Structure 1
Amino acid sequence: MATKWVGNPQHRLVTVGDSLTQGFQSAAIFNTPLSYPAIVAHELGCLPSFRHPLYEGHGGLPFNLELFLRDLEARYGRTVDWWEAPQALFRARGVMDRVEDYWERGPGRAVPSTTAIMHNLAVFGWDLRDALSKSADECRKRIDAPRDDLVNQLVQNAGERAALRVLPTRPQSAGALTQLGAAAELGKGTEGTDTKHGIETLVIFLGANNALRAVTELRVEWSKDAGFDSLDDKRRFTVWQPKHFTSELRKVAAEVAAIKACHVIWCTVPHVTIAPIARGVDDKVRPGSRYFPYYTRPWISDRDFDAHRDPKITDDEAQQVDDAIDAYNDAIAATVRAARSKGKDWYLLETCGLMDRLASRRYAEDPLARPDWWQPYPLPSALQALSPPPNSHFLAAKNGRRTDGGLFSLDGVHPTTVGYGILAQELINVMRLAGVRFFRPDGETLRQDPVLVDFDRLIRHDTLVNRPPGNLGSALGVLGWADEATDLFRRVFSVF
């Protein structure tokens, strides 16, 4: 028998997840007002009351690649000539040092005190175990004493510092609440009213970080029976064996089932090998294959790639990671089916299929590789009208105009603002299926179907799509130079 909910939920949308839900872009969390949950809240008509953390200092945490490139462009123009390289490197390290000082020793070190629980409870870099075990108290314990490292100039414990702005810290007892515990508090409803549940729609989007480091580090290290569920030991692994993922998923699902939410939407895990941070080298292994012989950094050309020297994973490793993610998603789907059979109003958002339909090199440009179910994703008309329409290639620009890409930000992993808009639209479609009502910004005027995301608004706010850095050439020379000179990407992605 289905649960009978009464009253009007106080919290219309609550989200639990990782960087994709928090709104991470270009290697930093800074644009939370344009995360996909905030976009959905805008379309729901409840954005003014939708609580989310802010990271407004020095471009966010840990290091904003967009602001970094714009700083270099302002000083050196659209190219860094060879005789300017030493000065440019000095300036790059200076930018990194200022960011580090701000968050470790400056104003960014202070955590705003609040008794209210955020509606967007996502934290970048978190996986299933983090959602089960990490609290504000635990994060504080894990923040090391800051040290001004002249070589490794990146914010220490950036993930924990970011989490302290998400998880409740007041009153004192709230510091022990995890992501899921905080959501459960929101679900309790309001005493003295007829509302027996506090959340209308709860979104759970976890699991990408149980495989993402395989492509951000270009290293496949499978989880072991000992340590996969330990906050300390799990850092050794970049991909979880499906049995370990399923074990953690059962624990997460049990906690989610106890949260008083009218509707719960679970999101599947995208294939991480689609992200352009890992570019396929040369032609595919064979006609019709989904995979390339090697995957390396997007700024390393086919001509320059050296399998003995450059970071890489092989086609076999990429396929094994994808197969594991397919098993993760089978487990998530089974979890939703089991809950629905018991009367819970749970739904599945196929974010894995969504990203596959947007995958340019894997499917859109190779008809022979397309599975029977594959159809290209129809971009909203406002995106189709852009020149060129956005795709999943790494972002490229010439003379300050975008020439390629547009769905992924400069880290090659996380969406641009319009990319998050696509995810928001798909979530809205599922919410409408569940019977969720959407209102105009006044919060009172009911919207009729179809409820569509305002992509014109998002395009205006998306600086990577409408005004990309002028020094972002098609050969990705600037980012490649920055990575070679400062080991930037390894350091940035070490937070995941």
Structure 2
Amino acid sequence: MTDSVRRHEPRVPVTDPTVGVGVNADRQGEPRHRLVAIGDSLTQGFQSLAIFNTGLSYPAIVAYELGCLEQFRYPLYEGVGGLPFNIELLLRDLEAHYGQTVDLWEIPFALFRARSLMDRVEDYWERGPGLAVPSTTAVMHNLAVFGWDLRDALSKSADECRQRIGEPEDDPVKQLVQNAGERAALRVLPTQPPEAGSLTQLDAAARLGEETDGTGSAHGIETLVVFLGSNNALQAVTKLEVVWSEEGYDDLSRKKPFTVWKPEHFEAELRQVAAEVSRIKARHVIWCTVPHVTIAPIARGVKGKTAPGSRYFPYYTRPWISDDDFDREQDPHITGAQARQVDNAVDEYNDAITTQVRDARLAGKDWYLLETCGLLDRLASRRYAEDVSARPAWWQPYELPPALRTLAPPPNSHFLTGERGRRTDGGLFSLDGVHPTTVGYGILAQELINVMRLAGVPFFRPDGHTPREGEIRIDFDRLIRNDTLVDRPPGNLGSTLRVIGWADEATDLFQRVFSSFL
């Protein structure tokens, strides 16, 4: 799809969440459900190749600040570090047995430990306690599932996920939880009573929206967040392969080979999702734009920028492959031209999302736009912050909250590294190079809160009754204390890239985890 480069300048972020259209919102009564979120791994709280920290996802952080965390329902993944494989757990296990470095002669033993840990995780979820899905008739408020795209939100249900979970194979070499995404979804989507097993993410949110009796409100949901679309382009960088969508993009059984959706295919799916969202009884709906996936440090640009003032590098490869070691004949990569095409497609996705929000507001719905794409652009270290000549006229660096600015060093978008148990670089992305750390999720939560305040959403103290006046600022000191990668990283973080690169080469870990997303 070489003709997809339709603009040479980066898209200008939308700075007005109302997209310039005023609406008189209905604020009568108190909706029963204060916050509901539909999304993928970014909304579920995925970190370091696993879903495990759901109590610190950005919706849960917002619920804490709303004063309703105790009522906010989200799934738990407490077994063996989460699902499908927590690479932070692996690093800490290696540190406990081999210290801060793995010596050359210890590598065979470390590989055995890594595979033993993977085997334990696999057994837990495929044959052990992880098989038992909690039975509840209550619908989750965080309805996000890692790996899901627009079609999944429209079509996947608990019943569909059960049908896709096959008989597990105990492969002694390629040990990874099979059907990890479907297994994760069964803890998110309604499963009881039995007829609820046919509900999709959107259906489940609609059911919450119908719960209006006795609240004095026409809406069962106060704020609905919709953050979908990243997985319609993400695999271009996680697989380092650009395969444009073709016929079958809207079919659960045929879409897996595609790593990037053509804009016209994305827009066709988006229209269907927007139509479903418009039927959900939510007082306010906040749509998030799709971040530029090529900024994530899982795909590191090598060999210098293509030209002075360019946003792009000639090649993008794994972050543990240095410029000197990179071999385009041997190493996985995409080209700078392909990265530009993917970014341009994402820009068109976001134009389509903006149009949906504008049209809804013109029709009287209180919908808003959260510019998460522009947020990541403003945090992008190698693309803009470190290259003055590449900055577009609108670009300004994102001002970190005071608690993060005082950290040494302040967090940035580089791949996380450290020395002797102290972080020396990165801090916004977890160890998979795609998903945020806890403080990274906190930044996203803060931006969401800002839009909610614009919408007139009231915030309360933890007691749920005492109003909070004025500007609402997230307690980042709390998040830092709970961020194990930023506050107390593994002692072997200094050799993180080498260790992760070794683990990926030995077990094909990253490729297989991210391939399980779709």
Q: If the length of structure 2 is used for normalisation, what is the TM-score?
A: 0.94
Looking at structure 2, the residues matched to 164 and 77 of structure 1 have their Cα atoms a distance apart, in angstroms, of 38
Where 1:201 maps in the other structure, the secondary structure is strand
Where 1:295 maps in the other structure, the secondary structure is strand
User: Does the 8 Å contact 1:215/1:272 carry over to 2?
Assistant: yes
CA 1:476–1:283 in 2, change beyond 3 Å: closer, same or farther? same
CA 1:475–1:163 in 2, change beyond 3 Å: closer, same or farther? closer
**Matching residue of 1:433:** 454
Looking at structure 1, the residues matched to 156 and 473 of structure 2 have their Cα atoms a distance apart, in angstroms, of 36
**Matching residue of 1:44:** 66
Match of 1:88 among 87, 100, 110: 110
User: Does the 8 Å contact 1:2/1:342 carry over to 2?
Assistant: no
**Matching residue of 2:364:** 343
CA shift digits 1:413-462 (9 cap, x unpaired): 00000000000000000000000000000111111121000000000000
TM-superposed CA distance for 1:78, in Å, is 1.1
Please tell me the residue identity of whatever aligns with 1:113: S
**Matching residue of 1:69:** 91
User: Does the 8 Å contact 1:5/1:196 carry over to 2?
Assistant: no
**Matching residue of 1:220:** 242
TM-superposed CA distance for 1:169, in Å, is 0.5
Match of 1:199 among 221, 241, 244: 221
Looking at structure 2, the residues matched to 491 and 239 of structure 1 have their Cα atoms a distance apart, in angstroms, of 18
Match of 1:480 among 501, 507, 512: 501
Contiguous gaps of at least 5 residues in structure 2: 1-22
**Matching residue of 1:307:** 328
RMSD: 1.0
CA shift digits 1:266-304 (9 cap, x unpaired): 000000000000000021000110000000000001111
Where 1:319 maps in the other structure, the secondary structure is helix
Residue 475 of structure 2 is aligned to residue 448 of structure 1: no
Please tell me the residue identity of whatever aligns with 2:414: H
Residue 261 of structure 2 is aligned to residue 240 of structure 1: yes
User: Does the 8 Å contact 1:17/1:204 carry over to 2?
Assistant: yes
Looking at structure 2, the residues matched to 247 and 326 of structure 1 have their Cα atoms a distance apart, in angstroms, of 16
CA shift digits 1:113-149 (9 cap, x unpaired): 0000000000000000000000000000000111211
Please tell me the residue identity of whatever aligns with 2:285: V
Matches within 5 A, 1:39-438: 39-191=61-213, 194-224=216-246, 226-438=247-459
Residue 51 of structure 2 is aligned to residue 29 of structure 1: yes
Please tell me the residue identity of whatever aligns with 1:478: V
Looking at structure 2, the residues matched to 179 and 315 of structure 1 have their Cα atoms a distance apart, in angstroms, of 36
TM-superposed CA distance for 1:3, in Å, is 6.0
User: Does the 8 Å contact 1:65/1:410 carry over to 2?
Assistant: yes
Looking at structure 2, the residues matched to 24 and 411 of structure 1 have their Cα atoms a distance apart, in angstroms, of 10
TM-superposed CA distance for 1:108, in Å, is 0.4
CA shift digits 1:141-186 (9 cap, x unpaired): 0001112111210000000000000000011111110000000000
User: Does the 8 Å contact 2:31/2:215 carry over to 1?
Assistant: no
Please tell me the residue identity of whatever aligns with 2:255: K
Please tell me the residue identity of whatever aligns with 1:479: I
Contiguous gaps of at least 5 residues in structure 1: none
User: Does the 8 Å contact 2:423/2:493 carry over to 1?
Assistant: no
Q: If the length of structure 1 is used for normalisation, what is the TM-score?
A: 0.99
CA shift digits 1:56-76 (9 cap, x unpaired): 000110000000110011111
Looking at structure 2, the residues matched to 7 and 151 of structure 1 have their Cα atoms a distance apart, in angstroms, of 58
Looking at structure 1, the residues matched to 513 and 95 of structure 2 have their Cα atoms a distance apart, in angstroms, of 21
Of the structure 1 ranges 4-13 and 282-291, higher mean CA displacement relative to structure 2 is found in 4-13
Please tell me the residue identity of whatever aligns with 1:338: D
CA 1:388–1:258 in 2, change beyond 3 Å: closer, same or farther? same
User: Does the 8 Å contact 2:101/2:495 carry over to 1?
Assistant: no
Looking at structure 2, the residues matched to 83 and 472 of structure 1 have their Cα atoms a distance apart, in angstroms, of 20
Where 2:110 maps in the other structure, the secondary structure is helix
Where 1:471 maps in the other structure, the secondary structure is helix
Q: Which runs of 4+ in 1 moved over 4 A?
A: none
Where 2:255 maps in the other structure, the secondary structure is helix
Please tell me the residue identity of whatever aligns with 1:205: F
CA shift digits 1:449-481 (9 cap, x unpaired): 210000000000001001111112267111111
